[in-house]
Structure 1
Amino acid sequence: MARRFICDATFCRRRIFAERFEDGVVAERSRHTSRLECIVHHLGLALGGRPAASFAKRLMVPVSNDTLLRVVRRRACLRTDTLKVVGVDDWAWRRNHRYGTIVCDLERRRIVTLLPDREIATVEAWLADHPQIAIVSRDRGGGYGEATARALPNAVQVADRWHLMENASAAFLDAVRKSMRTIRAAIGATTINPDLLTYAEKLQYEGYLRREETNAAIMKLAGEGIPIKEIVRRTGHSRKLVRQVIRGQRTDIFRVRQSSLEAWLPFLDGQWVSGCHNASELWRRLKTKGFRGRLGVVSEWARRRRRAEQASDQQLHKVPSARTIARLMTTARDHLSKADTVMIAAVEAGVPMLVEARNLVAGFHSMIRKKLDDDLELWIAAASRSLVASFANGIVRDHAAVRAAITEPWSNGQTEGQITKLKLVKRQMYGRGKIDLLQARLIGAA
């Protein structure tokens, strides 16, 4: 396309030279026009390497996947906008092993840069290069608060609201777990009759009883004022286990496993009451109704039903899990069944400190939703004397950022959305894209 010329000057070092075009038509030494390279660039941004090369071939623009990625990298440009409000969060190169950091411009809703790790020194160095930043939204982990305090001591730090609400709910769940012994006593759970258990459930129940004996022995020694080190020496258990038992973090609950017959129990009960006690016949009738389970499941139910009728009127009482109890306690009574309402009423009457913890968590959620921080100090004082004291202590350590999360309009929600986009691009490249290519595709596509 470009014409070539020969220089006949004797002392000219360049014998052959090519015709030059106007800016925006063909770049120097380029084999593509600027318009074609722009098309190739956008294909690479949208699809990556091989998918874009395949699509370009169908567009009659044959280009290799390496060229596509090379163009994406070459045309990458970092943001030079003046930053005032940024969001900082971590993202996983490989979950539980290696993490990076993403920085977003919350005002323009764009990714600013990607950092290769989440070390305090790395984040601090980047923030120090941008002293004009006035507000930093971040979560409460990863050392981002410390890095911001070092690099930008005058910047306002804002804790992520979603994580605050999630941490409050997790604190209430932890309080329920620590109160499970008291909850079981309040509910009035009956003693399990081993005669009504299957062989596998008997093995699980025996292990549960052994763990309960261990817990009782440790709690008895702790009640006598014996230190943890001496309890470890006497019982032979690990220091970690002893500490968990004393702190109420080891909550073992025996529950009968779920069965595929749960949805069919009303039909089976009706057939049994009508006189059909043969497991094979019950199974055949279930099959006509659409049941897809095996005969053995129905046979096991029939055996257990016969044992229950031969034994006392005692029934297997399913103790709800701590997570279920926490969910039911935080659900409006109008949305609960009659049985659940009775159970939760018993829990509230038997464990009043759980009611206090629930009300405190609900009050904290309300403060965040209504953006009212007037009662934050009173809330911290009350929570410090409750079952969610550990959560309250965390709020005290990050007091300024939590207060800003309640009052400021900024949060890390859009940063989490950009991380979702980053995950999509990273998985498109099967996790093999390096940080420069990830950054080029994410920033270039904005």
Structure 2
Amino acid sequence: MIDSGELVRVVFSGLSPLLVEDVTDEGEQIRIRARTPGGSVACPGCGAATGRVHGYHQRCVADVPIGGRRVLMMVRVRRLACPTRGCPQTFREQVPGVLERYQRRTSRLSTQIGAVVRELAGRAGARVPAAPAVRLSRHTALRLLLRLPLPRLPVPRVLGVDDFALRRRQRYATVLIDAETRRRIDVLPGRTADVLEARLRAHPGVRVVCRDGSGAYAEAIRRALPHAVQVTDRWHLWHNVGEAVRKEVAAHSACWAKAGPPITDGKRAQTTRERRHHVHDLLGKGVGLLECARRLNLSLNTVKRYARVPEPMRLQRAPAYRPTLVDPYRDHLRRRRAEDPAMPILHLFNEIKALGYPGSFNLLYRYITQGRVEADRLPISPRRVARLLLTHPHHLKDEHRRLLDDLTAACPEMTDLAGLIRGFADLLRPREDNADHLDAWIAGARAADLPHLHAFTRGLDQDRDAVRAAVTLPLHNGGTEGVNTKTKRIMRQMHGRAGFALLRHRILLG
């Protein structure tokens, strides 16, 4: 059994540096009267010890609630006079660990509130402590958050670097983590090379840096840490090759879509052919790409796209139709039109209406006039074909695998593209011998007639060392991407109104 005196000492053990004189139960709150112990205290100005009392002062501070009731503590503190000649000042004594200068809460209550505010911040951080009778405003909650000490971590051996948007397309920041332990190291304002270079020079010792394909980060690392190994992120490599594959599939849709509906030769296709003819005509006369864009009133990227295509047919796209209400009755329509090609569409409409067709006559008319009934297969979009190419063969269903085989067999360039994709996917499993395989893969990609993949290989050449490290070392930048995901949650939680200092605190304390 614990007696009442022992119970009081247990409950108020955090106030042991003080002398508790009285505890009063006032119903909604508990009032404690205490005083500081006697003894000498060091002067904050000159450091001389003094016990000379100049006067007394009473401080009212809040402590951790008990039983859902507020705890107010009235503490009598001394005002001491410094004995050193030339230091004519008086000062109030402080109680480290219990009372801090200018604070209206005890240290242990501030610590508990800080743990809540660190996760919630703002209004939510003020509402949650109110349940156990802690009065707090949202502004005070944010001030407490900013006063929490940031962790001091050693310089990591492997550093992860990535950027995130403070305001999309306007302001960005850079986050640094320990790529091995995934602990946050720092958050920098901006994503320029100078910002990262200054941070790396101030904290040397990093051996390996994992990053994305940013040229600014690469330049900063080369200038500040010339001997550090740079590792580009494999996810970004696969994402970039996926974009190139999607463009190549769209460029060759005239080949693999031959079994589908015919490619319409309308006004848009005619305009595309005319623009390509004008671009190649100017290029043949020695006019540069930028001047072509100015003369033809086209964007530079559009001129580049026309310039890299050797044949006009590659600019045509297979029609990409959405699923419609007619699709379930396609086989019936196809069979009836084979039996009687001259059958009126109205008769076909009445027949499928009796079978349960819920759509309109106009929808059926467009479906038939677009040639979707006679096609050997339903149309497929270039994006879906690219997705089939980028999916591991073991993860494809049998019908998807057969469809992919038919599509790639219809075009020699698609066959080369499928082989190159499988080869690049093998490179993303880090092995020591992948460096030679990477050189062989780049040579094979350049030998194929795939202009968009050539642009991807040029990007690999500009960052060859970092790419070689990515396919040979088991390091990656996934931890930094995870931190960015949590950062976005924090920013949504704070409604995008947090300043950089507050946001930095929450990221590093999270």
Q: TM-score range by the shorter chain?
A: 0.7 to 0.9
Cα deviation per residue 1:66-122 (whole Å; 9 max; x = unaligned)?
111101101232534232211000101122332211111123311111111101111
One-letter amino acid matched to 2:440: L
Distance, in Å, in 2 between the alignment partners of 1:20 and 1:307 is 89
One-letter amino acid matched to 1:41: G
Change (3 A) 1:407 1:128: same
Q: What's 2:498 paired with?
A: 433
Q: Does the CA-based 8 Å contact 2:263-2:316 persist in structure 1? A: no
Q: Does the CA-based 8 Å contact 2:192-2:216 persist in structure 1? A: yes
Summarize the alignment of residues 145-156 of structure 1 with structure 2, pairs less than 5 Å apart.
145-156=218-229
| 2:414 paired with 1:376 | no
Task: Return 5+ residue gaps in structure 1 as ranges.
Answer: 194-204, 292-296
Q: 2:136 aligns with which of 47, 60, 63?
A: 63
Instruction: Answer with 31-40 or 368-377: which moved more.
Output: 368-377
Cα deviation per residue 1:185-211 (whole Å; 9 max; x = unaligned)?
xx2555468xxxxxxxxxxx7443433
Structure 2 counterpart SS, 1:83: coil
Cα deviation per residue 1:311-356 (whole Å; 9 max; x = unaligned)?
99856986533222223345539945659836x4454344323322
| 2:507 paired with 1:442 | yes
Q: Does the CA-based 8 Å contact 1:333-1:341 persist in structure 2? A: no
| 2:325 paired with 1:247 | no
Structure 2 counterpart SS, 1:253: coil
Q: What's 1:196 paired with?
A: none
Instruction: Answer with 362-371 or 258-267: which moved more.
Output: 258-267
Distance, in Å, in 1 between the alignment partners of 2:375 and 2:293 is 41
Q: What's 1:199 paired with?
A: none
Q: What's 1:385 paired with?
A: 447
Distance, in Å, in 2 between the alignment partners of 1:393 and 1:256 is 31
One-letter amino acid matched to 1:245: Y
Q: Displacement, 1:3?
A: 1.0
Q: Displacement, 1:132?
A: 0.7
Instruction: Answer with 208-217 or 115-124: which moved more.
Output: 208-217
Q: What's 2:61 paired with?
A: none
Q: Which has the higher contact order (CA 8 A, sep 6+)?
A: 1
Task: Return 5+ residue gaps in structure 2 as ranges.
Answer: 1-73, 338-342
Structure 2 counterpart SS, 1:375: helix
Q: 2:105 aligns with which of 24, 32, 36?
A: 32
Q: Displacement, 1:6?
A: 7.1
Change (3 A) 1:306 1:61: closer
Cα deviation per residue 1:113-142 (whole Å; 9 max; x = unaligned)?
111110111111111111111111000125
Distance, in Å, in 2 between the alignment partners of 1:379 and 1:326 is 19
Q: What's 1:357 paired with?
A: 417
Q: Does the CA-based 8 Å contact 2:428-2:471 persist in structure 1? A: yes
Distance, in Å, in 2 between the alignment partners of 1:132 and 1:333 is 44
One-letter amino acid matched to 1:50: R
| % identity of equivalent residues | 30
Q: Does the CA-based 8 Å contact 2:171-2:190 persist in structure 1? A: yes
Distance, in Å, in 1 between the alignment partners of 2:81 and 2:430 is 82
Change (3 A) 1:221 1:183: farther
Structure 2 counterpart SS, 1:157: strand
Q: Which of the pair is proportionally richer in strand? A: 2
Change (3 A) 1:221 1:180: farther
Q: What's 2:178 paired with?
A: 105
Change (3 A) 1:433 1:252: farther
Summarize the alignment of residues 131-280 of structure 1 with structure 2, pairs less than 5 Å apart.
131-184=204-257, 187-189=258-260, 191=262, 206-215=266-275, 217-218=277-278, 221=281, 225-227=284-286, 236=296, 238=298, 240=300, 241-248=302-309, 251-253=315-317, 255=319, 257-261=321-325, 264-265=328-329, 277=347
Aligned residues: 417
Q: Displacement, 1:298?
A: 2.1
One-letter amino acid matched to 2:192: E
Q: Does the CA-based 8 Å contact 1:208-1:254 persist in structure 2? A: no
Cα deviation per residue 1:136-195 (whole Å; 9 max; x = unaligned)?
1000125111110001001111111111122222222222233233444xx2555468xx
| 2:472 paired with 1:407 | yes
Distance, in Å, in 2 between the alignment partners of 1:244 and 1:364 is 24
CA RMSD of aligned residues (A): 4.1
Distance, in Å, in 1 between the alignment partners of 2:369 and 2:457 is 50
Q: Displacement, 1:233?
A: 10
Structure 1 counterpart SS, 2:428: helix
One-letter amino acid matched to 1:104: I
| 2:108 paired with 1:47 | no
| 2:480 paired with 1:419 | no
Distance, in Å, in 2 between the alignment partners of 1:392 and 1:74 is 49
Structure 2 counterpart SS, 1:3: strand
Q: Does the CA-based 8 Å contact 2:254-2:316 persist in structure 1? A: no
Structure 1 counterpart SS, 2:176: strand
Q: Does the CA-based 8 Å contact 1:384-1:393 persist in structure 2? A: no
Change (3 A) 1:242 1:228: farther
Q: What's 2:39 paired with?
A: none
Change (3 A) 1:122 1:63: same
Change (3 A) 1:222 1:324: farther
Q: Displacement, 1:277?
A: 4.8
Distance, in Å, in 1 between the alignment partners of 2:475 and 2:296 is 52
Distance, in Å, in 1 between the alignment partners of 2:119 and 2:89 is 41
Q: Does the CA-based 8 Å contact 1:179-1:248 persist in structure 2? A: no
Change (3 A) 1:219 1:339: farther
Change (3 A) 1:401 1:304: closer
| 2:360 paired with 1:298 | yes
For the pair shown, the structure with the greater C-alpha radius of gyration is: 2
Change (3 A) 1:48 1:339: closer
Q: Displacement, 1:363?
A: 1.2
Summarize the alignment of residues 279-358 of structure 1 with structure 2, pairs less than 5 Å apart.
286=356, 297-304=359-366, 319-330=379-390, 332=393, 335=396, 341=402, 344-358=404-418
Cα deviation per residue 1:28-74 (whole Å; 9 max; x = unaligned)?
33211111000111111011110111111112001111111101101
One-letter amino acid matched to 1:127: L
Structure 2 counterpart SS, 1:327: helix
Q: Does the CA-based 8 Å contact 1:135-1:156 persist in structure 2? A: yes
